[in-house]
Amino acid sequence: MHLCVDMQRMFAGPTDWQTPWMARVLPQVRRLAEAHPDRTVFTRFIPAARPGEGRGTWATYSERWSGMTRAELDPGLIDLVPDLARLVPPAAVIDKTVYSPWLESDLDARLQAQGVDTLIVTGAETDVCVLAAVLGGVDFGYRIVLATDGLCSSCDEAHDALMVMYRMRYGHQVLTLTTDEILERWP
């Protein structure tokens, strides 16, 4: 299954959360999603409705990023980028209000019902929501395949550090491959 994390307009465009090189990885993410749209799950990060909303540090987070709350944000910016949105359906979408797609959804149950044991992970940001998706997937026992050219971050140093960590510390559970290498194995 392809798990594509938070490839949304609010991260692609000129907002406080813009991930400048999302456009650079989008063609690879799109290739993977188009190869098997029925085996693709997109996540969307849904910001707090208003500043101060959320439990614990999420309340201060939504205050810090008040301009990115749903009260201030153009609702269309929460949508997937158009190149990926057109694949839904058959691709599925899971919304979340925290970094991890595992905590507020039936993602694990869906994957188990389909007999999935491996997740191909793409998306944004390598060091935030992708990290939460990967570590949660590892905790649930999934083999993780990271598309190295299908991940992006707004912090190059953190992205690079995570890629080293995945290779050096999680080699038994996480495999790093390019999109071409993945598609060769997932025709």
pLDDT of 187 reads 78
Query: Where are the extended beta strands (E) located within 46-109?
Result: 92-96
Q: What is the C-alpha radius of gyration for the chain, rounded to an integer number of angstroms?
A: 16
Distance CA 140, CA 131 (A): 14
Closest by CA to 29, choosing from 12, 14, 17, is 12
Peptide bond into 14 cis (omega under 30): no
Tens of pLDDT, residue by residue over 37-52, are 999 999 999 999 999 9
Grouping H, G, I as helix, E, B as strand and the rest as coil, residue 26 is: helix
* 44: its two tokens: 């969307």
Tens of pLDDT, residue by residue over 114-154, are 999 999 999 999 999 999 999 999 999 999 999 999 999 99
